[in-house]
Structure 1
Amino acid sequence: MPLISRRHFIAALGSTAAVPFLGRAAFAAKDETQLTVDTRVIEVRGKAAKVYRLDTAQGKQGFNFDAGQSLRLSLTNRLSEPTLVHWHGQTPPTEQDGVPMLSQPELKPGESYSYDFKPRAGTHWMHSHVGLQEQKLLAAPMIVRSRADVAADEQEHVVLLHDFTFREPAEILAELKAGGGDHAAHSGGGMSGMGNMSGMDHSKMAMPAPDAGAMLNDITFDAFLANERTLDDPEVVKVEKGGRVRLRIINGAAATNMWVDLGGLEGEFIAVDGNEIEPVKEKVFPLGIAQRADIRVTLPGESGAWPILFRPEGLKQRTGIVLVAGDGTIAKIGAEGDMAPAVDLAMELRLRALKGLAPEPITRAEMVMLTGGDKDYVWGLNGKASMHDTLFTVRHGERIGIMMHNMTTMSHPMHLHGHHFQVVDINGQKVQGAMRDTLLVPPNAMVTIAFDADNPGNWAFHCHHLYHMNAGMMAAVAYVNAA
């Protein structure tokens, strides 16, 4: 059993989280964790809201797990509608990936399904992959701690971010598709009407001017949440004077890219999407939809209170938590600040994987155009809107490159299931970048990722902006037998 450091003990005493996130899995590898999908009521700015919950038998949302164990759990659906959970960042067998139509059927009300696979270490999360359920908070952290994590003498704190609306998500999507909502004022500029472009010479295509008609947010939210709380009543995390804290931050927002702003503190970016990187020191860090950031912060040696703010791009609204040491005084924090800029790839250019892909050439490259976004709110890949159609096929053992070109005027956080990829080119600049499972592709950007085809099956490849995905920006990467 690992020793509990003094910092862990202080944190446990001082935590005031509204929701008991991340109970450590107190069971041996042979035991099975019970995970239940149900509903609950939370309060957002004094108003009650019925949302989903995804918790263990101990009543905790999400869980910690130690790497090296086999993850055995039983997922039970207590909703009155079908659901299914995807283990974001994990690489299970394809039939356990939690995507309807590609990996397994939806769980009907009252049904259960057992999972058994070896988890990858790192900061990950789990969320519904059925319709728009994720928008109603059907998500939870999934932290898998390595031996080094367990041995480290540092406090850890997990933050799950959400964009929140009191409206029904289905109504929002219907409004967008009808040409209404915030997208109604958007100038379009997408390429949804171009059909399948797989055989076209992309080098001769006319590209939209940089930032022409760009749009950062196409949905208005009622609040932004950090561990389900707003800055009206933020989570207060007790820390030790001069202590070291590892913040594991998950952007579980449905449609909002964010910035992590450490304010008066400086931090080290040490991992992205659960994969270690060469440390980068900064005060502000980008975090696209579905991405995760591990940031290590060393506190000053005196009492104090330090807000950690999460700022949605293109907005003045913000949310956050507060780190408090000793008898530090917590000042009132305004729910609005300066308008946050667009999340871009400047930081991505600086990231280097501690352990990247083995040095071997790409076997085959695929061009994927990110398309759509006109007033009809149809999005797609290579000019085609779909959900489960095969985008391209791969053979086991290949090294695949995907060059993505965003032809639309909105950013797209592109997520590949079942694999981790390395960023190898950003707008023509070769890099030995971070290992990720989700990469933000801004308007007009061209980025190339590479991955090893080492996990046979049918795998989803999609934009993680929930409304873009459900309006067609999703397809599959399918393995075929070797010739």
Structure 2
Amino acid sequence: DYRFQLHDAGSFWYHPHTSSAAQLGRGLVGPLIVEEREPSGFRHERTLNLKSWHVDKQGAFTEFSVPREAARGGTPGVLSTVNGTHAPTLDLPAGQVVRLRLLNLDNTLTYRLNLPDSEARIYALDGHPIAPMPLGKEYWLGPGMRIDLALKVPEAGTELSLRNGPLRLATLRSVAHDDVAGDWPPALPANPVAEPDLQRAETLRFNFEWAGTLSTDAAQGGAYTFWQINGEAWDINDKTCADRPIATLKKDGHYVFELRNLSQYQHPIHLHGMTFKVISSNRRQIEPWFTDTYLLGKNETARIALVADNPGVWMFHCHVIDHMETGLMAAIEVV
């Protein structure tokens, strides 16, 4: 039995952290939706789970993590699905504003989400509301990340294409609906997240980089070590990792994490147990927002800030699963 309080409304998900590549790869993942305490203003919503599968042409599972790929961008699947179906057609009510909760439940793949010729606005990122803004040309949704869109469904008979870059993920088909046309709902209410004080925050630096060696004791049952944080490749199978946190934070202390990607591959950096605020990047303009995962681009340095208000030992890792399982994982302690 898992017993916990729900402080934050939003789109979340669940999965195991044991033999993650195989268990997530076989489908042991799913959405965990926490509804707002008061009505959100959306009368219609759909949850869309994005996942590509490691299967061959006969439908049998292939390797979930290939060393050659794990040392690079991660081992990709080959069969894209939305809610378990390849390229489905989804009916939406014409004239209505529909909340689309899109969750990236993939082991590896970052989706370049786009909805050409549509009216779509972003209402929340990774479970936390933002001031509504246009979706724009595309949004990069890394593994473990979520986005809540409001889509104004066009007139009946129209079809929209939900895409990953140029590739069609699903067809959104507008069907006749009797209700009066809907309008854009107000912004979603903010979650109760503590605001970090940058003036008194302590800065900690974390380097995410290739381990610089292909040596491994995997033949003897150990783990490959392709990736490292601050010079150490962390073995997810070593239970003493929790006893050797990469950082120890004071409860209710204010911190800035400087995240430095010293590689040519993206890393969706995820922190368990706490929410952080993205405040700056050397690669793009940042409008600060709260999240639990940040897609760190190649050679990017980003700064995030948080209040360490949740005591315990928490995982801090890349959500490309075979990056995590080959070194890009550590523990952070709050005391």
TM-score, normalization by structure 2: 0.81
In the alignment, what sits opposite 2:86?
230
Please, which of 384, 390, 397 is the counterpart of residue 232 of structure 2? Answer: 384
- Asked whether the equivalents of residues 373 and 408 of structure 1 are also in contact (C-alpha less than 8 Å), the reply is no
- Asked whether the equivalents of residues 154 and 174 of structure 2 are also in contact (C-alpha less than 8 Å), the reply is no
How far off is 1:471 after superposition?
0.5
In the alignment, what sits opposite 1:464?
319
Aligned to 2:107, what secondary structure does the other structure show? coil
How far off is 1:285 after superposition?
2.1
Aligned to 2:233, what secondary structure does the other structure show? coil
Q: Over residues 391-443 of structure 1, what are the superposed CA-to-partner deviations in whole Å (9 max), with x where a residue is unaligned?
A: 11001010111101001111000000000100011118785511000001011
Give 4+ residue runs of structure 1 displaced > 4 Å after superposition.
Answer: 167-172, 353-357, 428-432
In the alignment, what sits opposite 1:142?
32
Q: Over residues 58-88 of structure 1, what are the superposed CA-to-partner deviations in whole Å (9 max), with x where a residue is unaligned?
A: xxxxxxxxxxxxxxxxxxxxxxxxxxxxxxx
Distance across 2 between alignment mates of 1:139 and 1:172: 15
2:195 corresponds to 1:358: yes
- Asked whether the equivalents of residues 414 and 462 of structure 1 are also in contact (C-alpha less than 8 Å), the reply is yes
Structure 1 gaps of 5+ residues are 1-113, 189-214, 328-352
How far off is 1:283 after superposition?
4.7
- Asked whether the equivalents of residues 403 and 449 of structure 1 are also in contact (C-alpha less than 8 Å), the reply is yes
Which residues in structure 2 correspond to 1:402-481 (within 5 Å)? Answer: 402-427=257-282, 431=286, 433-480=288-335
How far off is 1:306 after superposition?
1.9
Amino acid paired to 2:231:
G
In the alignment, what sits opposite 1:323?
173
Percent of aligned positions with the same letter in both sequences? Answer: 26
Aligned to 2:247, what secondary structure does the other structure show? strand
- Asked whether the equivalents of residues 229 and 235 of structure 1 are also in contact (C-alpha less than 8 Å), the reply is no
Distance across 1 between alignment mates of 2:121 and 2:275: 22
Amino acid paired to 2:299:
N
Amino acid paired to 1:166:
V
Amino acid paired to 2:195:
A
Distance across 1 between alignment mates of 2:211 and 2:79: 25
- Asked whether the equivalents of residues 259 and 284 of structure 1 are also in contact (C-alpha less than 8 Å), the reply is yes
How far off is 1:369 after superposition?
0.1
Please, which of 108, 111, 124 is the counterpart of residue 258 of structure 1? Answer: 111
Larger Rg: 1
Please, which of 3, 6, 10 is the counterpart of residue 122 of structure 1? Answer: 10
State which drifts further: 294-303 or 244-253: 294-303
In the alignment, what sits opposite 1:165?
54
- Asked whether the equivalents of residues 157 and 173 of structure 2 are also in contact (C-alpha less than 8 Å), the reply is no
How far off is 1:278 after superposition?
1.2
- Asked whether the equivalents of residues 90 and 172 of structure 2 are also in contact (C-alpha less than 8 Å), the reply is yes
2:140 corresponds to 1:286: yes
Q: Structure 1 residues 358, 325: closer, same or farther in 2, change over 3 A?
A: same
In the alignment, what sits opposite 1:309?
163
- Asked whether the equivalents of residues 156 and 174 of structure 2 are also in contact (C-alpha less than 8 Å), the reply is no
Amino acid paired to 1:158:
T
2:126 corresponds to 1:276: no
Distance across 1 between alignment mates of 2:61 and 2:301: 31
Distance across 1 between alignment mates of 2:62 and 2:202: 39
In the alignment, what sits opposite 2:186?
none
Amino acid paired to 1:298:
K
Q: Over residues 155-185 of structure 1, what are the superposed CA-to-partner deviations in whole Å (9 max), with x where a residue is unaligned?
A: 1000011121127989453x41xxx4x56xx
Structure 2 gaps of 5+ residues are 178-188, 215-224
Amino acid paired to 1:470:
E
Q: Structure 1 residues 359, 407: closer, same or farther in 2, change over 3 A?
A: closer
Aligned to 2:151, what secondary structure does the other structure show? strand
Distance across 2 between alignment mates of 1:430 and 1:129: 33
Distance across 1 between alignment mates of 2:42 and 2:168: 31
Aligned to 2:2, what secondary structure does the other structure show? strand
Q: Structure 1 residues 293, 430: closer, same or farther in 2, change over 3 A?
A: closer
Aligned to 1:134, what secondary structure does the other structure show? helix
Distance across 1 between alignment mates of 2:206 and 2:119: 37
User: Root-mean-square deviation (CA), in Å?
Assistant: 2.6
How far off is 1:380 after superposition?
1.2
Q: Over residues 245-285 of structure 1, what are the superposed CA-to-partner deviations in whole Å (9 max), with x where a residue is unaligned?
A: 01000011100100221122121011001111111112522
TM-score, normalization by structure 1: 0.57
Distance across 2 between alignment mates of 1:430 and 1:322: 31
Amino acid paired to 2:49:
L
How far off is 1:317 after superposition?
4.7
Q: Over residues 217-250 of structure 1, what are the superposed CA-to-partner deviations in whole Å (9 max), with x where a residue is unaligned?
A: 443422111111112xx1422x222111010000
Distance across 1 between alignment mates of 2:167 and 2:156: 30
Amino acid paired to 1:250:
L
Aligned to 1:468, what secondary structure does the other structure show? helix
Aligned to 1:467, what secondary structure does the other structure show? helix
- Asked whether the equivalents of residues 270 and 316 of structure 2 are also in contact (C-alpha less than 8 Å), the reply is yes
Amino acid paired to 2:110:
N
Aligned to 1:390, what secondary structure does the other structure show? coil
- Asked whether the equivalents of residues 244 and 296 of structure 1 are also in contact (C-alpha less than 8 Å), the reply is yes
